[in-house]
Chains A and B, each alone.
Chain A
Amino acid sequence: MITEDNTFIDEIKNFIATKMTLPNPESNLIAVLHKVQQLYCYLPKDVIDMIAIEMNIPAAHIWGVATFYHYFNLKKPGKYIIAICLGTACYVKGSNKILEAIKEHLKIDVGQVTEDGIFSIQPARCVGACGQAPVLMIDEKIYGELTPDKAIEIIEKYRNKNNND
């Protein structure tokens, strides 16, 4: 196949195959895109091309669907996704200030990836740790009672970890 990472291609192809026998198979496009995002964390272009072939849907049209829904990531996310909680409790406790600090520190916006490909920022809605608000999450690990400085410290820890790997 075409993509840099072929791991999930067969899985996706099989998934599509189960949909193609249904009436109006093209109506399953969104389900297929969900599957791809679940496996790759985003929608790689090569995989969209592959879906175009397998499902008989023009790539320009799939691209239209993928860009319509905010849920879909179109860029490869960073190695570490910083999920900053903007749920009510965290928000009240000033998580937007933390978000601003992180954005400034990494020089990227929400949904973008740092140039070195290490970090990306994503908003999250209540991760169930309101008691420690404001919180952020990296790799399923929750960091609470944050201040802007603390958040940046945590991020730098991950950077060092990455450099030592």
Chain B
Amino acid sequence: MQDTITITINGKEYKVKAGQTIMQAADSLGFHIPRLCYHPKLSIEGACRVCIVEVEGMKNFVASCAFPINNGIKIKTNTAQLRRARRDIVELILDNHPQDCHICERDGNCELQHLAYTMGIRKKHFEGQKKNYDLDLSSASVIRDPNKCILCGRCVRMCTEIQGVSAIDYANRGFDTVVMPAYNQPLGESVCSHCGQCINICPTAAFVEKNYTQELFEKLDDESIIKVVQVAPAVRAAIGEAFGLEPGRNMEHETAAALRKLGFNYVFDTQFSADLTIMEEASEFLERVQGKGKLPLITSCCPGWINCAEKFYPEMLENISTSKSPMSMMSPLLKTYFAQKQKIDPEKIFCVAVMPCTAKKCESERPEHTVNDMRATDLVITTRELAWMIKSAGIDFVNIAGEAYDKPCGMSSGAATIFGVTGGVMEAAVRTAYELYTGETMTEIELEDIRGLQGIKEGQLTLEGQEIRIAVAHGLGNAHKLLKIVKQEPDKYHFIEIMACPGGCIGGGGQPYPSENLIPLDQNLLNTRAKALYESDRKNTIRRSHENPEVQRLYREFLKRPLSDKSHELLHTHYKAKQPQGIVSHMLNNLQNGK
């Protein structure tokens, strides 16, 4: 096969790489053919036909996302006839769509809306039957709205191919086709891990997060309570995008300022408790390395992964660190340590968390995360929800003067910042575990082996002569692959980090929708967000969690030491095996047969 072939697009010849589809070749030449169901990271579905083009010698238009190029092929991408046909196709999709854009969550950043606009649809030619399904509100994180679904199947492929969860698929046929969990059971009872990647990949609002912004605005107006908020690391790396800023701008201080303007009394940084998580988790790891407890130790900060583990890996729950996530360490401390320090009645504290994540909403509702019979985290909003609130409140986020986070839970190391990107928790844990164990200073603290967007990454280090092998997976599909290896070779690794979302929290299910010329899962976009966090780490004078003076003080004044009784009471948890119906079971199967 030749490597380069000649194709003609719109009357002009080009030399392109062989083995591509028409769409790929056209993309590389700067012709953007409209599309809907296609996504470069997913298998080709060919369902929407929006991407049709004319190929000389073919009777019908062909779907360019699926049609391979060959030498001498002559393609037209923008004839009047094509434009008309495409417009008809999009109109037919719109036809049984609710068309309630002005009251829709995605008004302004909906792909369908945008497509209709670009196709030049300015009036309605057809009036189709509308769908009339109930919303699925059963999940604490994700809402499923079949009425808005255009059956492109991107969510189904995301859930199956990237996440390996397969919670949803097409059911029924024809006009009655609906994307749903097995047995049409509620999402909240299905195998869904609530990672929210279906929201990110959906072109419309058929999947959205459970929105708590109204409730929060009301709380912010309530003068009888103390409103306290914490912000996760990945939020600052992406929130600027929602305001049209170039990706990769770190909005750490602007976010703190905006939260105060919204009416929060205290603005804390989840990075503070990320340092604390590292203190507990690294100590736990060192205990296990010394024979107390199961290896490999698997990280626990990602609630999407925890949901997945409880459903798919019941027999591995002992491997998972008992340390709570940074969010769920911060909140109980605010209702104990901070409340005591400030002499505030903890019942009066309303704890909010801003997270890049939808699964955190589930995590905050877990009954085991209560503190003195109070819910620890009262409410979780995503980056997207916060961006909307800032806009809605009329705060000029782009020009706002940055502010610092409050004490005592606002200071953090660079190690905590990189929690937001795949490999970051492991890197932070290694920095601390190494120094706590050996008493020596680690010189090379940037662990290049476990950085970057490769699905599974490995690294190793030596702890006083003992070789420690580590591994990192992001995206639940990669987690499944890695755990399959662990099943076969239980001694292969000592320490494993798993993040449910591609890229880690920076690619979380609650992050801003990509702006016009970007697509979800865009690797450059993820890399740029990651860079913002790595740079912030490099600029920090404190880069190791155990050197955070506020964390040291917390131990001195309150917790005593890592893994103390107090720590166990407030900062550690346990997991329960769950057996939802409709379990995918390729994993279960592998486990049972030891394959």
Contacts and interface: CB of A to CB of B under 8 A. Distances in A.
Interface-centre pick from A58, A61, A63, A68 (highest chain B CB count, 10 A): A58
A53 B588 CA distance: 7
B583 interface: yes
Interface stretch (B27-35, B160-168, B538-546): B160-168
A68 B582 contact: no
Contact of B583 (A54, A59, A61, A68): A59
Interface stretch (B108-116, B169-177, B409-417, B445-453): B169-177
Contact of A59 (B160, B581, B592): B581
Contacts of A88: none
A53 B589 contact: yes
B180 to A, nearest CB: 8
Interface stretch (A7-15, A44-52, A139-147, A154-162): A44-52
B182 interface: yes
Given A49-B582, A56-B585, A61 B183 contact: no
Nearest to B183: A45
Nearest to A45: B183
Contacts of B584: 52, 58-60
Interface string A53-82: 110101111111001100000000000000
Interface string B288-329: 000000000000000000000000000000000000000000
Interface string B553-591: 000000000000000000000000000011111101100
Interface residues of B, number: 25
A56 B184 CA distance: 20
A59 B172 contact: no
B578 to A, nearest CB: 14
Interface string A116-160: 000000000000000000000000000000000000000000000
B512 interface: no
Report whether over half of chain B's contact residues are helix, strand or loop; otherwise say mixed: mixed
Nearest to B173: A68
Contact of A53 (B182, B191, B583): B583
Contacts of B190: 60
A28 B25 CA distance: 37
Given A58-B160, A58-B182, A64 B585 contact: no
| Residue in A59, A63, A64, A68 with the greatest tally of chain B CB atoms within 10 Å | A59
A59 B586 contact: no
A49 B581 CA distance: 7
B181 interface: yes
A149 B585 CA distance: 51
Contacts of B588: 53
A60 B167 contact: yes
A45 B580 CA distance: 12
**In the complex, the 7 A-B pairs of residues with the closest C-beta atoms, listed nearest first:** A58-B166, A59-B182, A59-B582, A60-B169, A53-B585, A60-B182, A67-B171
Interface of B: 160, 166-173, 180-184, 190-191, 581-586, 588-589, 592
Given A52-B583, A60-B166, 11 more contacts: A45-B581, A58-B586, A59-B182, A59-B191, A59-B582, A59-B584, A59-B585, A60-B584, A61-B169, A63-B182, A68-B171
